[in-house]
A and B are shown apart, each in its own frame.
Chain A
Amino acid sequence: MRIEDLVDAIRVMETELPADVERRLREALRRESGLSKMIMEAIIENIEYAKERHLPICQDTGILEFFVRCSEGHEVIREKITEAVKRATEEVPLRANTVNPFTRENEGRNLGRFHPIVHFEGVGKEPDVVEIDIIAKGAGSENVSASFMLDPTQGIEGIKDAVLHAVSKAGAKPCPPIVVGVGVGGSLERSAYFAKKALLRPLDHKNPDENLAKLEEELLERVNALEIGPMGFGGRTTAMGVLLEWGNCHTASLPVSVNIQCWALRRISLEWRESDFRILR
């Protein structure tokens, strides 16, 4: 695994949107009118200009989170990721975003205590393959994300209410058209992890569970019926997708987390087979 590959991947992630996201944004442009259409035109122009000039799409290049699957060598991989983030901050470049939460001091390299965020998720599909998914998450949308500890008897309706409440309260703040990641079950922090993890699934990949696929579709329709629209200017596109991830939980709990993602969904998936490196998008 070469550090250069990771730096290149971060550059691609920050300057070019995944094809499925760009396609949904172009569809949104065709659906909207008035001020919302003007906003969508600016978003599309921005995507094209950033790609052409290799510029970060948004000045908030986010907090970088890495989801790693590999059989061994965790500490070496963590060191390489740390070095890659430091270099990418210089070279892409990325905005220096990480600060001490108490003093607000910015150390300038997107590093510091427990940064970058790396989740080790066990072994990938084959033992000698290293898989890494990366997401760059801006604060505008992370700040309106939320967790709820529901009563088990609130059931599916409670889950739907939590999603609609979070999206409606967020309004224009997270830069709609948004993508909504929903994490159900686990524990408090596990549901939040599921909600972010859900954002890594491509928008045109259906949930493999048929009932959950239906729930995602229903939630997308109801979110769009809120008519918040692009940047809150009203219209038919509030969200481009609702994606759900889940795990079993305590019999007395129903944890639900909603991770709201801005239109600039910057994610990338990588794979190393010995020295062979591939970007999967």
Chain B
Amino acid sequence: MEIYRLKTPLDEVTVRALNIGDVVYLSGKLFTMRDMAHLRALELLRKGDKLPFELKGEVIYHCGPLVRGKKVVSAGPTTSMRMERMEAELIRLTGVRGIVGKGRMGERTAEALKEFGAAYMEFPGGAGALAAKAIKEINKVYWKDLGDPEAVWEMEVENFGPCVVTMDSKGEILKRKENRH
């Protein structure tokens, strides 16, 4: 288990070096994207349109933050599995290098991470206040019409973590004891 302090955007070599069980602290930009932002992004990208923000090399965060004015009050991760049906396509169409969420993702995402050189990491679920402490400011907000939790918030973070790599770019998935009863 290694501990990494990484600055976004991430390059392929850096991400390919990550292994499951490694712990990452991120500095730089995070883009929150959950259910509705995934849906809208894919609708645009499938038509060949551009997104109003560039995701190549960037890290997206499965999160619906609690924001007041310019201040992030609480911003932990949301359940990533809801994005499973959309994530592989988003990785392929945008070149995103990192995904932060919680609770694991599925096989299709794992294959996309391997093919395109990206990693899935988990921040401790429910630790919203702690996450907000590492978020320094909001740069921009996109798609506010989706409602605050579903909008895309471009955030500046410093030492955002611990983010545990649970799916790496080698196709490895951290083993979990689920669906055993």
Contact = CB atoms under 8 A, between A and B. Distances in A.
Contact of B180 (A56, A104, A108, A226): A226
Interface string A2-23: 0000000000000000000000
Q: Is the interface of A mostly helix, strand, loop or mixed?
A: loop
Contacts of A61: 66, 74
Given A172-B102, A234-B177, A46 B124 contact: yes
Interface string B114-150: 0000000010111111111100000000000011111
A175 B73 CA distance: 20
B176 interface: yes
Interface of A: 35, 38-39, 42-43, 45-46, 49-50, 53, 55-61, 93-97, 99, 104-106, 108, 138-140, 143, 161, 164-165, 167-169, 171-173, 175, 226-229, 231-234, 262-264
A234 B166 CA distance: 13
B132 A172 contact: no
A164 B74 CA distance: 32
Interface in B47-84: 63-66, 68, 73-76, 78-79, 81
A55 B178 contact: no
Contacts of A164: 181
B21 interface: yes
B152 interface: no
30 contacts: A35-B21, A38-B23, A39-B124, A42-B130, A45-B127, A50-B74, A57-B74, A57-B128, A58-B129, A60-B128, A61-B66, A93-B68, A93-B73, A95-B149, A97-B149, A105-B147, A106-B146, A143-B79, A168-B180, A169-B179, A171-B103, A171-B104, A172-B104, A173-B79, A175-B102, A175-B126, A226-B177, A227-B177, A229-B177, A232-B104
B68 A106 contact: no
Contact of B164 (A35, A43, A94, A104): A35
B126 A263 contact: yes
B37 to A, nearest CB: 12
B31 to A, nearest CB: 16
Contacts of B150: 104, 106
Contact of A46 (B122, B128, B176): B128
Contacts of B28: none
A59 B79 contact: no
A264 B65 CA distance: 17
B9 interface: no
Most chain B beta-carbon contacts within 10 A, residue among A42, A43, A165: A42
Contacts of A234: 176-177
Interface size class of B (residues with CB under 8 A): 35 or more
B95 interface: no
A109 to B, nearest CB: 12
B177 A228 contact: yes
B162 interface: yes
Contacts of B76: 58-60
A232 B149 contact: no
A272 B132 CA distance: 35
B179 A49 contact: no
Contacts of B147: 96, 99, 104-106, 108
B36 interface: yes
Most chain B beta-carbon contacts within 10 A, residue among A96, A106, A228: A106
Given A171-B103, A228-B177, A228-B178, A58 B128 contact: yes
A263 B124 CA distance: 11
Nearest to B39: A104
A226 B130 CA distance: 28
Given A140-B78, A172-B176, A173-B79, A95 B124 contact: no
B176 A60 contact: no
Contact of B129 (A46, A93, A106, A231): A46
B178 A169 contact: yes
Nearest to B127: A46
